[in-house]
Structure 1
């Protein structure tokens, strides 16, 4: 009997550590295990492939159109900053950074959905989680880049040349790298600790936890408010300067102000596309929402990355000229150099004389 009892003890003794490990796993995410609730109508839509009641062909055509327009347009937009004389400014690196974030959406996130749809797969969790990670990453990068763009525009248009000289190429490069590091860290924390709505599992977390409130305030509300204030400040100072009879803006100032307006329109477009989804995410903390509404607004927000480049083509002549030159180069194998005379040669003879409002046309 003693030997049998000893044998029984040997077989049952390893079980408690396994149970303890399972309990420890549950304790790591107590909020997720206990309070996550499914969305309404969660079975009729996919976070990767859109609504199931839509025709498979229509879904495929929509995704392909977004991929083509977004990918080509964002490549054109990034290239424009490199080839157009008036756009070759270190401050415009932040504009290219927004285009790079948009390219990740149109060139990686949406094409993955196309592959899943063509393969007839059932929403692979790894694919969905990767898409959500990249979406959060690009969202934060875009928000911070818009704020930096507005700050650079304000410094270039409204402050002195001595103040603008603080913005060096090295500092711009370091700032862009820090933006990507901070954004990647925030996206990783959201994925690893499963904070906020579980995008892929179609579940929401009732109740705003302190982490969400702090992060939303620091990396969303504050940058957005700063961007709005800076653009309003620029518009006010320019309007005030134009009331002065001695105010004679140079060609460079006119072009820089036009680019600032295009940046402002791009920021407003970002708010229009992303605000409905951000508000819906916030509403999920107090009430349940429909999965149809949640995921359709998510795709609507992501589609912004495919149309932002078109806005610059319409709103700014220098981006438009660069797009035309790039199109001729790709289709006709002509040079990408602009056909107009060197802009810097014209600008240096038209310096703005009005105090407090300046414009610069090239790297210092």
Structure 2
């Protein structure tokens, strides 16, 4: 072996292999090798911290979104046909908090760095829920405009069947667009930060399914605010209480829309066709996680800003944690005073007055009590039963 060959052999182990940015050469290290992962957050954090954060976001966000959907079912004023669109937004958020965050936690628990399957799953669900939310917000804005600013005859056109068909159509269109971008090379590669798609198709999707719905939503909410505020100027304007409730809910919807725009606009800007190849992975994936965190906060926004949702949340909390009924407590009936002693009365909350009137604890009290006197003019007093009937107050 010559000196030149010996030098090459000696220097060979010191040469590091060349790899593309963001792509790992070894399968054991995972598909991605960046500090910030699209699946498992920042690699510089400890695994326990990332796992606890993802678990907290999944649990809190999922419970809040379930509460938001359930509030529309149990609160009387929220049981309106147009409010099912709010539940549709909550359902899209529930898919993120119930599927995306738990999937990341599973990847961390499995000890994997990243996988192409997990990243593709994140991207598909996130884009689907984003498109559904954008289109649903435009439908919410139009429905609020028809409810508050147009004659009642116009709002009668909005039937529950039409709203249900509209929601199914929104999910179908969004799923079709996401499916085409997934199975055909016509969309951006979020996992590897590459773009090899059709520019006209992407521009059409952005304009028709994102830009136009956002503009329609903003325009409708601005028209509602201007018309209602101008109608409030005359001192004689006294709207019914239901109008005030609907207007308050509209403002909550507007705040939810603004929150969505604030969280998702930075990530959408870096996904521009010409900038996706040059943007830093740390910036891209940090903005992606920031956008996904909106799904955990939207339900709390409705609870804080709208009293009907807040009352429903309180009732649901008492029902889930205190085992009480969801319905509001009823007023006592006057016929209870004349109810026969043999009736059985049952209360919902267990633990109160557990002993029957024939138990030893109640027997002594019953004997010591004198017979109640009846007022003059009424019938003869009913004889007290010797054996008594068991009256349970559970």
TM-score range, shorter chain: 0.7 to 0.9
Shift of 1:279: 0.5
- 43, 60, 64: which is aligned to 2:51? 60
Runs of 4+ in 1 over 4 A off after TM superposition: 37-42
- 137, 140, 144: which is aligned to 1:146? 137
> Hey, what's the Cα distance between the residues in 1 that align with 2:258 and 2:143?
17
Task: Name the structure 2 match of 1:133.
Answer: 124
Trace 1:202-241 onto structure 2 (pairs within 5 A).
202-205=192-195, 209-241=199-231
Q: Which has more helix, going by share of residues?
A: 1
> Hey, what's the Cα distance between the residues in 2 that align with 1:180 and 1:61?
32
- Is the Cα–Cα contact under 8 Å of residues 262 and 312 in structure 1 kept in the other structure? yes
- Is the Cα–Cα contact under 8 Å of residues 195 and 277 in structure 2 kept in the other structure? no
Q: Are residues 1:157 and 2:148 paired?
A: yes
Shift of 1:199: 1.6
> Hey, what's the Cα distance between the residues in 2 that align with 1:192 and 1:340?
57
Task: Name the structure 2 match of 1:84.
Answer: 75
> Hey, what's the Cα distance between the residues in 1 that align with 2:235 and 2:271?
50
Deviation string, structure 1 residues 40-85 (Cα, Å, up to 9, x no partner): 9962222110121122111112111110111000000000000000
State the structure with bigger RCO (CA 8 A, min sep 6), 1 or 2: 1
Root-mean-square deviation (Å): 1.9
> Hey, what's the Cα distance between the residues in 2 that align with 1:277 and 1:335?
43
- Is the Cα–Cα contact under 8 Å of residues 147 and 226 in structure 1 kept in the other structure? yes
Shift of 1:207: 8.9
Task: Name the structure 1 match of 2:114.
Answer: 123
- 264, 271, 285: which is aligned to 1:281? 271
- Is the Cα–Cα contact under 8 Å of residues 75 and 103 in structure 1 kept in the other structure? yes
- 240, 252, 255: which is aligned to 1:262? 252
Larger radius of gyration: 2
Trace 1:164-203 onto structure 2 (pairs within 5 A).
164-200=155-191, 202-203=192-193
- Is the Cα–Cα contact under 8 Å of residues 322 and 338 in structure 1 kept in the other structure? no
Shift of 1:89: 0.4
TM-score after normalising by structure 1: 0.80
Task: Name the structure 2 match of 1:12.
Answer: none
The alpha-carbon distance between structure 1 residues 286 and 199, as it changes in their structure 2 partners (threshold 3 A), is closer
Deviation string, structure 1 residues 157-198 (Cα, Å, up to 9, x no partner): 001110000000110110010001001001111111233331
Where 2:188 maps in the other structure, the secondary structure is coil
- Is the Cα–Cα contact under 8 Å of residues 267 and 288 in structure 2 kept in the other structure? yes
The alpha-carbon distance between structure 1 residues 238 and 295, as it changes in their structure 2 partners (threshold 3 A), is same
The alpha-carbon distance between structure 1 residues 186 and 279, as it changes in their structure 2 partners (threshold 3 A), is same
Aligned residues between the structures: 304
> Hey, what's the Cα distance between the residues in 1 that align with 2:177 and 2:146?
29
Deviation string, structure 1 residues 315-361 (Cα, Å, up to 9, x no partner): 000000000000000011111124599xxxxxxxxxxxxxxxxxxxx
The alpha-carbon distance between structure 1 residues 39 and 223, as it changes in their structure 2 partners (threshold 3 A), is farther
Structure 2 runs not aligned, ≥5 long: 1-19, 24-31, 332-394
> Hey, what's the Cα distance between the residues in 2 that align with 1:338 and 1:128?
46
- Is the Cα–Cα contact under 8 Å of residues 42 and 290 in structure 1 kept in the other structure? no
